[in-house]
Chain A
């Protein structure tokens, strides 16, 4: 079979009924455009949701005493020994790490009380790990923690509102210490923060790590070491490497996916919804392409009979029709990709402001401005789906054309 003549005939046949072809190409292009744009939007949404969660609380991975993540018990602590530090320094891919102490407690003001997760941090190290220092509200009196022994407390703007507190006000922290005895300590609010993650803001407060260690009677023990990587996608490899180098069966290394399974499930749910949406769009494209090709074949029934009577093999007729469908798909794909990728790139740079849904966006932890992201795989997937769709759509018309009996077609007017 001569590929060149097949491609040439398929291309020229495509433009015999220009208007009809353009309608089908437009429908494919619109499908691709919608697919790339919505995938870009969803990528941006997912990415920001993950990044904000990582950058406010989890980090990319964390080292805990076994079982700490499930119970958050103060007694599940460990000493940050030289071997662990060496492992952290030696493992490639780790950009920064910081020790933390975590304790559940109650913050009380003169007006109200709220349960919180109090996190003791090394402020300098934490700067390289999370964005808490960048999330301080623009208030002249609001400041970040000065060092591990800072006795002040950072609370969120939302929590401050609930407790009716301002910067400089005092509150009482009540918690169980290591011996399970209730301790209370007065603290001064030194700063307010606001992150894009509402759940984080509602329940987390920060103080110096040494302050919390002293209050809880933990000595130099810590609850966890959090770490961030240069590339989020390397998290599983880094996790494996750390487990091997720390080699302590009493400690566990968890990735952000292990620590936030709900986030992973949410992303999978969004992806599934996207695929269902695309399936609906492309099923309509299948019918549109199949309908166009069947009409084209009926119009050319006699011509196909002539071609077969002068020696054209059925396989060549089959491939001409398949290539016509591929041409429809490829032209639609090109147009849709240019439009979709163009708009997504533009919106990726400028962002889409969803501040009118601010509360919902904070609930999801995405921030109010979404920056769509195009992934190379999305374009490849779009191309694959279009080619598969048009091939499926063309299969029946192509087989029908290949099976046309020349004599019957010659008599067809």
Chain B
């Protein structure tokens, strides 16, 4: 059984009295440590699928399980707890908390988990070091570049060592070089920590580098190809080197 199992997933929206069929029956299994991308044209349902897997949205039909737990059986509070403990999110617009420093943004999730201060700071600084932002730890997001902010967002997503990281268009607001560096970093983390990464993306670079590419068209899986890690071209051997 995969880490994530999707069975008979259907999601309909009502919009101005018209039923929009965003997802029309998807079956998927995603295993631990996969580096997958969900791609497809606009409106194909990739973000909707990602939101349902992340427990942010509920399916109209079908079920999604994470480690055997059916998300449909969980209350909003339990879903919130699941997102806190098991799932990390990376958003297109970075979405850091602007009044917190880079370090505090990374610490935030650990703080919600009740990790004590010393441990929290130690782990967060280690993550910032890993994403190459140790020197920027005490800067607020407004003082960081887009690429730096997205790396803080990656740090925030991985610091609690979740099983799954869901990244919605993580490179969309970055230039190609910065986006590539970020992908290097995430792949490095995936490789080393065995964290499952699932991207929703338009970006050909992300599609190219993903080990598995699930292509959606009109809310259904059009193709699902696994290419293995060998094809992934890493620009640098370690992501820990400082990036600007």
The residues of A with any CB-CB pair to B shorter than 8 Å are 2, 5, 9, 12-13, 16, 302-303, 306-313, 316, 406-407, 410
The answer to whether A406 and B84 touch (CB under 8 A), given A309-B89, A310-B109, is no
A303 contact from B77, B95, B113, Cβ within 8 A: B95
Quick one: CB contact mask for B67-96 with A, threshold 8 Å, 1 for yes?
A: 000000000010011011100110100010
List A contacts of B83 (CB < 8 A).
309-311
Would you list 29 pairs from A and B whose C-beta atoms are within 8 A, ordered by A residue? A5-B111, A9-B97, A9-B100, A12-B100, A13-B99, A16-B99, A306-B91, A306-B95, A306-B97, A308-B80, A309-B54, A309-B56, A310-B83, A310-B88, A310-B108, A310-B109, A310-B156, A311-B80, A311-B81, A311-B83, A311-B84, A311-B85, A311-B109, A311-B112, A311-B113, A312-B112, A313-B77, A316-B112, A407-B57
In the assembled complex, how far is the CB of residue A302 from the closest CB belonging to chain B, in whole angstroms? 7
Q: Cα distance A300–B89 when bound, in Å?
A: 19
Rounded to whole angstroms, the CA-CA distance of A5 and B109 in the bound complex is: 11
Given contacts A308-B80, A311-B83, A313-B80, contact A410 B97 (CB under 8 A): no
Minimum CB distance partner of A9 in chain B: B99
Distance from A191 Cβ to chain B, minimum over Cβ atoms (Å):
74
Contact A310 B54 (CB under 8 A): no
Q: A310 to B80: give the CA distance in the assembly, Å.
A: 8
CA distance A281 to B84 in the complex (A): 44
Instruction: Enumerate chain A residues within 8 angstroms of B51, measured Cβ to Cβ.
Output: 407
Instruction: Count chain B residues whose beta carbon lies closer than 8 angstroms to a beta carbon of A.
Output: 25
* Most chain A CB neighbours (cut-off 10 Å) among B51, B80, B88: B80
* Residues of chain B with a CB closer than 8 A to A5's CB: 108, 111
Q: A2-B112, A306-B97 are in contact. List 14 more A-B contacts (CB 8 A).
A: A9-B97, A9-B99, A9-B100, A16-B98, A16-B99, A306-B89, A309-B83, A310-B84, A310-B109, A310-B112, A311-B80, A313-B77, A313-B80, A410-B91
A407 to B54, CA, bound (A): 10
Q: Is the CB of B56 within 8 A of A410?
A: yes
**Complex CA–CA separation, A173 to B145 (angstroms):** 99
Tell me the complex Cα distance, A410–B54, Å: 13
Closest chain A CB from B111 CB (angstroms): 5
Measured CA separation A9–B77 after assembly (Å): 22
Please tell me if the beta carbons of A303 and B91 are within 8 angstroms of each other in the complex: no
CB neighbours (8 Å) of B80 from chain A are 308, 311-313
Known: A310-B89, A311-B112. A303 touches B97 (CB 8 A): yes
Residue ID in chain A nearest B48 by CB atoms: A407
When C-beta atoms are compared, the residue in chain B nearest to A311 turns out to be B84
Residue of B nearest to A1 (CB): B112
Name B6-34 residues within 8 Å CB distance of A. none
Bitwise interface map of B from 39 to 57 toward A, beta carbon under 8 Å scored 1, else 0? 0000000000001001011
Q: Which residue of A lies closest to B81 (CB)?
A: A311
